[in-house]
Homo-oligomer: A and B are copies of this chain.
Amino acid sequence: MDQITRTPTQLGATLRRYRKKSGLTQLDLGNRVSKRQATVSNIEAVGNGTLDTLFAVLSALDLELVVRPRTKTNPAVLGDIF
């Protein structure tokens, strides 16, 4: 299932999903990327952060990003809801 994100908040929610799926806490993940638990919280919950932090987290969770033209897929169902 592709995780389409169009806002920082959606991205944060998606990252959280993947983090939980791999059984890590924010503290665990923060340690792996040498960042604070608070920083992980901030990027997940608020959607604030830098690209540096983002890619550190993606790497730690063994994820990658795909950039593509927007699809017609219902934009509401994408990640904010859960």
Give the chain B neighbours of A47 by CB distance below 8 A.
51
Given contacts A51-B43, A55-B6, contact A11 B65 (CB under 8 A): yes
Q: Indicate how many identical chains form the complex.
A: 2
Q: Are A48 and B52 in contact, with the CB atoms below 8 A?
A: yes
The size bracket of the interface on A is 20 to 34
Q: Are A55 and B8 in contact, with the CB atoms below 8 A?
A: yes
Q: Kindly supply a per-residue 1/0 record for chain A positions 67-82, scoring 1 wherever the CB is within 8 Å of any chain B CB and 0 otherwise.
A: 1111100000000000
Give the chain B neighbours of A45 by CB distance below 8 A.
none
A34 within 8 A of B: no
A3 within 8 A of B: yes
Give the chain B neighbours of A4 by CB distance below 8 A.
64-66
Interface pairs A-B: 3 shortest CB-CB? A66-B66, A8-B51, A3-B67
